Chain A
Amino acid sequence: MTSTHRTLTVLLAVLFAVSAHGSAEAQNHPRLVEVRVDSVVASDTNGGVDVRLGHPMTRRLQGLFNYNTYRLVSHQNNHTKCGDILEFTLPGGRILHVQPRAVDGDMIVMELNLFDGARPMMTTDLKLRNNGILMIGGPRYEQGMLIISIGASSADPGPGSLNDRQVASPLGSRTH
């Protein structure tokens, strides 16, 4: 065996060891996923746009729908590691379960379950681009339609970040 072959063999062994170590690190530190849920009521009551929605959300809503009134009902923000379920309580007794399953490159694999009380309304498996937004609309609420904006973003936890960060209870959420 020549010196070049020996060098290549050693290099490949080192690369394999480094990649295996990195994979083990990744498995020991699953990635955190932050989920943001905004509940908006859209109607034609000439009430204008809630300033709390912010300019980007307002433009997004006006680009998607033709209502003249948008009001932010609740804003919830929580994070968890892949595999756990986040529960969000929505207006009108609806409940949204979000279960991030994995982070595949720039996409976040997740499952969404929407309930009307105890009755399941919708189940979907999807991949949402990091920092992307999915909207679920249609259910009636008060004088309009309920629009649920779901945003997700993954953060590289790094070694020990799960222990360093305050991870909320998977079934807990914060409502404004």
Chain B
Amino acid sequence: MAECSEIGLLLGAFEDAELEPHEMQDVAYHLARCDACTSLLGDYASIGRELRSTVELPSLVGFAQSVQKRIDNLPVPMGRRVGRWFGRLGEQLNSGLAMGTAMAAVAALTVLVLTPYLRRSLSPSLGQALVKAPAVASQQLAAAARDVEAAPAAIAVAANAADSGELASDSHAVISKLEAEMPSVAVWTEPRSDTTVIWLPDQQ
């Protein structure tokens, strides 16, 4: 059993319920058998009641705000202020960069979507070129066909020009059919005058 001297030291905390559970149990077990300590606990309790009744508690209305205000008014070290400024700047840059990226993405999408319509509406020459494209393609095909048609004549021209060391590069005439009663007919083109010649050797 604990001595009264030990229990006496714990009575104030017991009155305020500040002891550990096993200490609270020991003190309560001792008080149940010790009238002196019980009386001393009664004295502590009466003293506490007297003190609380005599002391007027200050009003706590606005206490937190006033404390925060005083904290805010405390002088901030230069290093911390510079750090805060850089922190805000970084946040602004990050937000600005994000905003700029979003705007650039929107602009790119707008350009991609609107470019075909803008080309049609703002560039009539392009539209005309698109309208003329089939005709141009057919002309190119016709030119290619003419080149193919001209191939036999060009071969004959090259064969005949070999004697003079000249080759016909262009011709004013494209011969697609040539029939003659004589067995050999010469065809050549003179490039300087762009003149095509059909030579029919006289058989008489």
Residues of A that sit less than 8 Å from B by CB:
4, 8, 12, 15, 59-60, 63-64, 104-105, 107, 114, 119-129, 132-140, 145
Q: A64-B195, A133-B195 are in contact. Are A124 and B200 (CB under 8 A)?
A: no
Q: How far is the CB of A100 from chain B (nearest CB, A)?
A: 14
Q: How far is the CB of A154 from chain B (nearest CB, A)?
A: 14
Q: A8-B120, A138-B199 are in contact. Are A64 and B173 (CB under 8 A)?
A: no
Q: A119-B181, A121-B181 are in contact. Are A139 and B146 (CB under 8 A)?
A: no
Residues of B that sit less than 8 Å from A by CB:
117, 120-121, 131, 139, 142, 146, 149, 172-182, 185, 190, 192-202, 204
B120 touches A4 (CB 8 A): yes
Q: Which of A121, A128, A133, A134 contacts B200 (CB 8 A)?
A: A121
Q: How far is the CB of A94 from chain B (nearest CB, A)?
A: 11
Q: Which of A4, A63, A105, A125 contacts B175 (CB 8 A)?
A: A125
Q: Which of B149, B180, B196, B202 contacts A134 (CB 8 A)?
A: B196
Q: Which of A4, A15, A137 contacts B199 (CB 8 A)?
A: A137
Q: Which residue of B lies closest to A126 (CB)?
A: B175
A114 to B182 CA separation, bound complex (whole angstroms) = 13
A124 touches B199 (CB 8 A): no
B180 touches A121 (CB 8 A): yes
Q: Which of B146, B173, B194, B200 contacts A122 (CB 8 A)?
A: B200
A131 to B37 CA separation, bound complex (whole angstroms) = 142
Q: A120-B181, A137-B200, A138-B201 are in contact. Are A126 and B173 (CB under 8 A)?
A: yes
Instruction: Select the residue from A59, A114, A135 with max chain B CB neighbours within 10 A.
Output: A135
A139 touches B202 (CB 8 A): yes
Q: A63-B190, A140-B204 are in contact. Are A134 and B181 (CB under 8 A)?
A: no
A105 to B196 CA separation, bound complex (whole angstroms) = 19
A125 touches B200 (CB 8 A): no
A64 touches B193 (CB 8 A): yes
B193 touches A63 (CB 8 A): yes
B179 touches A122 (CB 8 A): yes
CB neighbours (8 Å) of B173 from chain A are 126-129, 132, 134
Q: Which residue of B lies closest to A119 (CB)?
A: B181
A107 to B149 CA separation, bound complex (whole angstroms) = 13
5 shortest A-B CB distances, which residue pairs? A132-B172, A138-B200, A125-B177, A129-B172, A122-B180
Q: A107-B174, A128-B173 are in contact. Are A123 and B179 (CB under 8 A)?
A: yes
A120 to B181 CA separation, bound complex (whole angstroms) = 7
A124 touches B179 (CB 8 A): yes
CB neighbours (8 Å) of B179 from chain A are 122-124
CB neighbours (8 Å) of A60 from chain B are 190, 193, 195
B198 touches A124 (CB 8 A): yes
Q: Which residue of A lies closest to B194 (CB)?
A: A132
A114 to B198 CA separation, bound complex (whole angstroms) = 12
